[in-house]
């Protein structure tokens, strides 16, 4: 375990005690959000993203250590474990390196070499391999190994089989494989060619070459997809003669009568055994690296989407656009409760748009609608035109916004959607979801499989299990960073809270329905199957507005309540002062306090004290409220209205490796290529913008026929 700790300290550049404490907290069953928020003293303030990387690396290193023990035992059972082999096993840093060491000892299926050994040709291979004989003839020596009963009939056959044994020996050598792997990665060129003469989205790769060491992740995934769909043939090209020459210099240590034969074995070993294997390994490594990047981008985009600021205190009309079946309408109040539903027809030429507007106006007036949320799917553009006209005709101020409806149909057709709205058809559920995801993106989007939300790149081409695990971690971190209202949260939202399983989430809602709203956090202990450990993990992330204790509506953990009361008493304050609207005096005075000394007097860590003071200043605060609000519109633009050099404001919808897609209000997102993001060099778009950012862009070019918009953020 000490080796693992040392490795973690080195990789994460943290103190040994930080690593030891973090491993201990993980092993005790604490969740990442809980450790990140309430055990900062132990971890040295490591945030949730670093802790997840730490956990993943800890798991890998433990698996590596377990495999080392297993391999050592397997080789020992064969009676072949030398001090040199043991040292190599102990020093292995990766699974690849470890498996290379084990390769010569691994039980093999029948190969050409094993067949040659069965025919008694290993001694002949040893004579050639040992390079001791300076005189004589291998052919004459090989005569002694002819055996018609074993089907070794000729000298040439005996020598060829002996070389098969040597070739496998070379192939199994860990040092040779490492050299070839490194050489291939440094000097290899990934080459893609058309596998068939047919137009496709992969045409840019029909004659494509790029250095293995330089190819970027998103191109790897695109090429892999093209290969899987049989449009591309792909291989790694390099100077094989150079590798064979270098390998001969390593293998042939002195002149002997078998030198030329060894050269033959080296070439065979490389071309038949090593090169195909190394090419697979390197392509797998490239793919794994590309998947890591794609998952990271998807996760970061998802995080920023989930943490979009909620539109609070507004009555929202959700519109799920359609053609033949019409536009499904759902009105929800400021708590997300459905007030009314309707269907209007306004997107086809034969529809009565005036009648549709009349119906919508009545609903707007009746329910005092402030904002109309339009889904961005089929018929969205036609719906937007009519609704923009409606907004201009209204006597009261009504604005609209285009909402990304990705995943709404998945929710609508899900078991959860049917349980929530059993009497609604699928499209009406979508309309409700569209309205609610404007009011509280986090609470609504957690009902949808993160992979269906559509803010990634090549998400269908990566390992789905790893993607799902990573995205669940992102959702957990987002939900716990915001906290949820214990008395209104759905089971879908509750199950992402630290320590709460899907079963516990249902039990909490069942308790709420039977007993009424929770008045304090301690009541959680009355919920079926929610014990002390689960309470410890979840309590700080659950909020109770208007409960018995104002602290229950903050991120202060119940374990710190006594410290809070002591702090207030020391400063001549009470909980009543908090209830009166926040502690302005506390905010003004805390900057003058000796927090280090105060934390000692209270018996809590300095990070915890700082968090407590921050929470007491703004009880019940939502960290998302500090972010820019979404852009609301009252009029519509068309793609044809766009002209080069036009300056516009838009919302970042997706960030990928090669650029950013921005919604500028024309129903077609424009692309800001990575080269157009800044006047200075940009390594990755995420260094400049995030999903949800409000940005100013300039139109570079508009291709109306292909519905493509090129934008820039340079020189504005």
In this predicted model, what pLDDT tens digit does every residue of 372-430 receive, in sequence order? Answer: 999 988 888 899 889 999 999 998 899 999 888 888 888 898 888 998 999 998 889 99
175 and 156 within one domain: yes
pLDDT of residue 649: 84
Burial class (CB in 10 A: 0-12, 13-18, 19+), 142: buried
Q: How far apart are CA 576 and CA 583, in angstroms?
A: 10
138 and 26 within one domain: no
Handedness of CA 641, 644, 648, 653 (dihedral sign): positive
423 and 385 within one domain: yes
Q: Which CATH number belongs to the domain containing residue 669 in this structure?
A: 2.40.50.140
Q: Does a structural domain hold residue 357?
A: yes
Q: How far apart are CA 314 and CA 427, in angstroms?
A: 22
8 A C-beta contact, residue 317 and residue 401: no
Q: Which CATH number belongs to the domain containing residue 49 in this structure?
A: 1.10.10.650
What total of structural domains would you count in the chain?
4
Q: Is beta strand 338-344 parallel, antiparallel or unpaired with respect to 399-403?
A: unpaired
Work out the end-to-end distance of the chain between its first and last CA atoms, rounded to an integer number of angstroms. 55
Q: Which CATH number belongs to the domain containing residue 409 in this structure?
A: 3.30.420.140
92 and 120 within one domain: no
Q: Which of 247, 263, 298 delimits the end of a domain?
A: 298
- The pair of structure tokens assigned to 696 is 């100013």
Task: Give the length of the chain.
Answer: 716
Could you report the per-residue pLDDT of 238-249, keeping only the tens digit for each? Answer: 999 999 999 999
Q: Does a structural domain hold residue 590?
A: no
pLDDT of residue 451: 81
76 and 191 within one domain: no
Q: How far apart are CA 178 and CA 172, in angstroms?
A: 11
90 and 151 within one domain: no
The CB density around residue 481, as the number of other CB atoms within 10 Å, is: 20
8 A C-beta contact, residue 508 and residue 500: yes
Q: Does a structural domain hold residue 616?
A: no
pLDDT of residue 636: 67
Radius of gyration of the chain (CA): 33
Q: How far apart are CA 204 and CA 223, in angstroms?
A: 10
188 and 75 within one domain: no
How far CA 655 is from CA of 136, 296, 521, 677, 688, in Å, comes to 70, 11, 39, 12, 10
Local structure of residue 568 (DSSP, 8 states)? H
157 and 213 within one domain: yes
Phi, psi of 426 (to 5 degrees): -60, -45
Q: 309, 278, 292: which is closest to 482 by C-alpha?
A: 309
Q: Does a structural domain hold residue 128?
A: yes
Phi, psi of 189 (to 5 degrees): -125, 125
Q: 367, 383, 365: which is closest to 375 by C-alpha?
A: 383
- The pair of structure tokens assigned to 21 is 């404490």
Q: How far apart are CA 267 and CA 243, in angstroms?
A: 9
Q: Which of 73, 105, 137 delimits the end of a domain?
A: 105
8 A C-beta contact, residue 226 and residue 166: no
Which helix or strand (DSSP H or E) is residue 655 part of?
strand 647-656
Q: Which CATH number belongs to the domain containing residue 141 in this structure?
A: 1.10.3500.10
What contacts 24+ positions apart, CB below 8 Å, involve 12-18? Answer: 12/50, 12/53, 12/54, 12/57, 14/44, 14/46, 15/44, 18/42, 18/43, 18/44, 18/46
DSSP for 190-241, written as a single string: EEEEESSS---TTGGGTEEEEETTT--HHHHHHHHHHHHTTSEEEEEE--HH
How far CA 23 is from CA of 4, 9, 28, 272, in Å, comes to 10, 12, 9, 45
379 and 322 within one domain: yes
Q: What is the three-class DSSP state of 277?
A: helix
Which helix or strand (DSSP H or E) is residue 700 part of?
strand 694-703
Q: How far apart are CA 170 and CA 177, in angstroms?
A: 9
Q: Does a structural domain hold residue 541?
A: no
223 and 156 within one domain: yes
Q: How far apart are CA 433 and CA 418, in angstroms?
A: 13
Burial call 529-558: b when 16+ CB within 10 Å, e when fewer = ebeeebbbbbbbbbbbeebebbbbbbbbbb
Q: Which of 455, 483, 506 delimits the end of a domain?
A: 455
Burial class (CB in 10 A: 0-12, 13-18, 19+), 227: middle
Q: Does a structural domain hold residue 406?
A: yes
Which residues span the domain enclosing 649?
Answer: 639-712
Residues with Cβ within 8 Å of 366's Cβ and at least 6 positions away in sequence, in order, are 340
Q: Does a structural domain hold residue 643?
A: yes
292 and 156 within one domain: yes
The CB density around residue 421, as the number of other CB atoms within 10 Å, is: 18
Q: How far apart are CA 220 and CA 289, in angstroms?
A: 9
Return the beta strands (E) in 358-505 as ranges: 371-375, 399-403, 484-485
8 A C-beta contact, residue 374 and residue 319: yes
Place of tokens 């010569």: 104
Q: 295, 294, 351: which is closest to 326 by C-alpha?
A: 351
Residue spans of the chain under pLDDT 50: none
290 and 322 within one domain: no
How far CA 156 is from CA of 88, 106, 141, 147, 266, in Å, comes to 38, 29, 12, 13, 18
pLDDT of residue 582: 53
pLDDT of residue 512: 95
Q: With a threshold of 0.75, does the pTM exceed it? A: yes
């Amino acid at each position: 375990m000490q080796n693992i700790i040392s490795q973690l300290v080195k990789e994460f550049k943290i103190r040994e005690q930080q690593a030891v404490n973090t491993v201990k907290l993980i092993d005790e069953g604490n969740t990442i959000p809980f450790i990140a928020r309430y055990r900062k003293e132990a971890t040295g303030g490591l945030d949730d993203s670093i802790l997840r990387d730490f956990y993943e690396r800890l798991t890998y290193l433990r698996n590596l250590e377990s495999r080392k023990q297993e391999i050592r035992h397997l080789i020992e059972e064969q009676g072949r474990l030398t001090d040199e082999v043991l040292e190599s096993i102990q020093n292995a840093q990766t699974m690849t390196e470890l498996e290379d060491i084990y390769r010569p000892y691994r039980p093999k299926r029948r190969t050409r070499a094993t067949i040659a050994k069965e025919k008694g040709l290993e001694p002949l291979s040893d004579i050639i391999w040992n390079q001791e004989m300076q005189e004589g003839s291998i052919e004459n020596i090989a005569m002694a190994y002819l055996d018609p009963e074993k089907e070794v009939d000729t000298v040439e056959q005996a020598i060829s089989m002996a070389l098969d044994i040597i070739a496998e020996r070379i192939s199994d050598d860990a040092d040779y494989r490492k050299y070839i792997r490194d050489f291939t990665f440094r000097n290899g060129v990934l080459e893609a060619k058309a596998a068939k003469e047919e137009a496709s989205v992969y045409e840019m790769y029909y004659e494509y070459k790029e250095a293995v060491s330089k190819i970027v992740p998103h191109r790897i995934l695109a090429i892999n997809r093209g290969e899987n769909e049989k449009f591309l043939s792909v291989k790694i090209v390099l100077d094989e003669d150079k590798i064979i020459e270098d390998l001969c210099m390593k293998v042939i240590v002195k002149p002997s009568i078998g030198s030329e034969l060894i050269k033959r074995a080296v070439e065979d070993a490389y071309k038949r055994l090593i090169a195909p294997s190394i090419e697979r390994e390197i392509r797998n490594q490239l793919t794994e690296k590309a998947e890591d990047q794609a998952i990271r981008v998807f996760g970061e985009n998802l995080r920023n989407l989930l943490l979009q600021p909620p539109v609070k205190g507004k009555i929202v009309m959700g519109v799920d656009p359609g053609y033949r079946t019409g536009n499904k309408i759902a009105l929800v109040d400021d708590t997300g409760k459905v007030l009314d539903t309707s269907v209007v027809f306004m997107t086809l030429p034969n529809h009565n748009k005036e009648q549709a507007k009349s119906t919508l106006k009545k609903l707007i007036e009746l329910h005092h609608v402030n904002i109309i949320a339009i889904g961005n799917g089929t018929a969205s553009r036609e719906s937007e035109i009519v609704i923009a006209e409606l907004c201009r005709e209204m006597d009261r101020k009504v604005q609209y916004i285009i909402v990304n409806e990705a995943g709404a149909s998945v929710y609508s057709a899900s078991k959860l959607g049917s349980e929530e709205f059993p009497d609604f058809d699928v499209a009406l559920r979508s309309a409700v979801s569209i309205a609610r995801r404007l009011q509280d993106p986090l609470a609504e989007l957690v009902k949808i499989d993160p992979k269906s939300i559509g803010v990634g790149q090549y998400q269908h081409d990566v390992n789905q299990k790893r993607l799902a695990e990573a995205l669940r971690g992102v959702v957990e971190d987002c939900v716990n960073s915001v906290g949820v209202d214990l008395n209104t949260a759905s089971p879908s939202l509750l199950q992402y809270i630290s320590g709460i399983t899907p079963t516990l989430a249902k039990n909490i809602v069942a308790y709420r329905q039977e007993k009424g709203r929770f008045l304090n956090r301690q009541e959680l202990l009355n919920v079926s199957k929610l014990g002390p450990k689960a309470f410890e993990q979840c309590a700080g992330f659950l909020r109770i507005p208007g409960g018995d204790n104002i602290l229950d509506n903050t991120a202060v953990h119940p374990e710190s309540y006594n410290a809070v009361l002591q702090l207030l008493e020391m400063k001549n304050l009470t909980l009543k002062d908090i209830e009166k609207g926040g502690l302005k005096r506390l905010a003004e005075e805390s900057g003058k306090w000796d927090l280090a000394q105060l934390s000692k007097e209270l018996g809590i860590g300095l990070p915890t004290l700082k968090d407590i003071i921050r929470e007491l200043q703004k009880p019940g605060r939502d960290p998302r409220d500090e972010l820019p609000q979404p852009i609301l519109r009252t009029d519509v633009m068309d793609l044809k209205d766009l002209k080069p050099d036009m300056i516009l404001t838009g919302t970042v919808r997706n960030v990928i490796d090669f650029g950013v897609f921005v919604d500028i209000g024309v129903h077609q997102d424009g692309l800001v290529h990575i080269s157009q993001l800044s006047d200075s060099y940009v390594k990755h778009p995420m260094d400049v913008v995030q999903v949800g950012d409000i940005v100013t862009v300039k139109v570079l070019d508009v291709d109306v026929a292909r519905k493509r918009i090129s934008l820039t953020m340079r020189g504005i």
